Amino acid sequence: MNQKPPTIFFHFGDKTLDLFSLKTRNKIQIRNIFIPTPKIILAEQTHSNFVHIVNKKDAGTGLLTEPIPNVDALMTNEKNIFLAIKTADCVPILIFDPVEEVVAAVHSGREGTRKKIISIVLNTFKDNFKSNPKNIYVKIGPSICKKCYKVDKDTFGNFVSSTGIKQYYPFLDLKKVLIKQILEEGIPEKNIENYNICTFENENYYSYRRNKTKKRQISLIGIIQVNR
């Protein structure tokens, strides 16, 4: 049976697509795409810099079973499964290589950014999937902005000394660090897209800093392969 060329699908969620929605539905619709929730995979997200390469047997992990433990980034070249990241101020990052047909979903809060999780993910693209950095696209989703992310002196000092990137006390700019780390891995600047939305300021998004919510928006990426 002939197959159409695969399509990379990605979506940054807001309050209309949250973790509760995934756990209470058999499928979700995003634009014109229907995604069965048993095809979605979630990580535990422990503010680590660990990556898990997903295969089809992982489908449903995090919804039907416990999430993949001790990791904050998921990658795959499998078709018709979807990697999901839950956030409420941390940075969701969706990455794809349309040439080698590989995708990744990354949760990068302050600790993940400090530990260079994005660099580790991009090196996994290159080392495990033979991706050329020029073919990798990085989408940086809605998160708390530099005007709203205020931290104490010790946290500020630890972050700046770890990353080596100037900040303006008492505020941290996570995306500034992430973009520098991405560029250092050889990703062209034109391949980086930053969704300049602050989850703290925008009421359409959940924000832990705004009201200590336990709710989380969901961002998704996957490779869709359909038969003709």
Q: pTM to 2 decimals? A: 0.96
Cβ(195)–Cβ(5) under 8 Å? no
| pLDDT above 90 (res 5) | no
Cβ(97)–Cβ(135) under 8 Å? yes
Tokens of 202: 């925008």
Per DSSP, 68 falls in state B
Closest CA relative to residue 195, chosen from 34, 71, 12, 8? 12
Domain regions of the chain by residue span: 7-224
pLDDT 10s digits, 55-104: 999 999 999 899 999 999 999 999 999 999 999 999 999 999 999 999 99
| pLDDT above 60 (res 1) | no
| Percent of all residues in the chain with a pLDDT value above 90, rounded to a whole number | 93
Q: What confidence score (pLDDT) does residue 208 get?
A: 97
Query: Would you call 98 exposed, middle or buried from its count of C-beta atoms within 10 A (0-12, 13-18, 19+)?
Result: middle
Band of pLDDT at residue 162, cut at 50, 70 and 90: very high
DSSP H helices, 152-215, are 153-163, 174-184, 208-211
Cβ(221)–Cβ(40) under 8 Å? no
Average pLDDT over residues 140-150: 98
CATH of 7-224, one of 3.40.800.10, 3.40.50.450, 3.40.605.10, 3.60.140.10: 3.60.140.10
Query: Beta strand pairing status for 192-194 and 137-140?
Result: parallel
Average pLDDT over residues 146-155: 97
pLDDT 10s digits, 180-204: 999 999 999 999 999 999 999 999 9
| pLDDT above 60 (res 217) | yes
pLDDT 10s digits, 31-63: 999 999 999 999 999 999 999 999 999 999 999
Band of pLDDT at residue 21, cut at 50, 70 and 90: confident
